[in-house]
Amino acid sequence: MADIWSELEEVITGLTSVSDIRAAAVVRRDGLIITHSLPDGVDPRTTAAMTAAIVGTSEMATVQLGQGRFEQALIESEGGKLVSTGAGDQAFVIALAYKDANLGLVLMALQKASRKVDEILRRAESR
C-alpha cells in the first residue's frame, strides 16, 4: 500500500510542477481525499467533499442531457480556475490553476495525471 501512496504523491508532484498549476489533489468519488498539495489554510476534506458534489452533479447533468460520460468540469473565478477530471471509476483529480494559466497546458497535464491515477488504482484493486 505504501507504494501506491508514493505513486499517487508522485503524480501530484508532477502535476504541480507544471508552471500554471498551483495545487492539485486526488479525490475519491465519494468525497474523501486521497492525497493533495493544497495550500495551507485550505481544508482538504472540505475541498474534496465540495468537488465530489460538483463532479457528481456534472455526471448526472451529462447523462440527463444525453452528452455521454462526464470527462471534466471547469470553474473559473476571479482568483483562478478549478478543473476536475475523472480518473476512472474510483477517483478524480483536481487542479487549481492561476487565473492567466494556459488552459491547454493545464488540461493536457491533468488528463495525463488522471490516466496515471486510474492505472495506479486499478493495479491496487487487482492485488
pLDDT tens per residue, range 16-75: 999 999 999 999 999 999 999 999 999 999 999 999 999 999 999 999 999 998 889 999
Q: How confident is the model at residue 127 (pLDDT cuts 50, 70, 90)?
A: confident
Q: How confident is the model at residue 99 (pLDDT cuts 50, 70, 90)?
A: very high
Residue 103 has a pLDDT of 95
Amino acid at 58: S
Residue 2 has a pLDDT of 63
| Residue corresponding to grid cell 478524480 | 92
Could you give the C-alpha distances from 81 to 14, 87, 99, 101, 126, in angstroms and in order? 18, 19, 6, 8, 35
- pLDDT mean over 79-93: 95
Q: 81-111: string of b/e by CB count within 10 Å (b at 16+)? A: bbbbbbbbebbbbbbbbeeebeeeebbebbb
Average pLDDT of every residue of the chain: 94
Domains of the chain, first to last: 2-125 (3.30.450.30)
- Length of the chain (residues): 127
Residue 111 has a pLDDT of 95
Predicted structure pTM score: 0.92
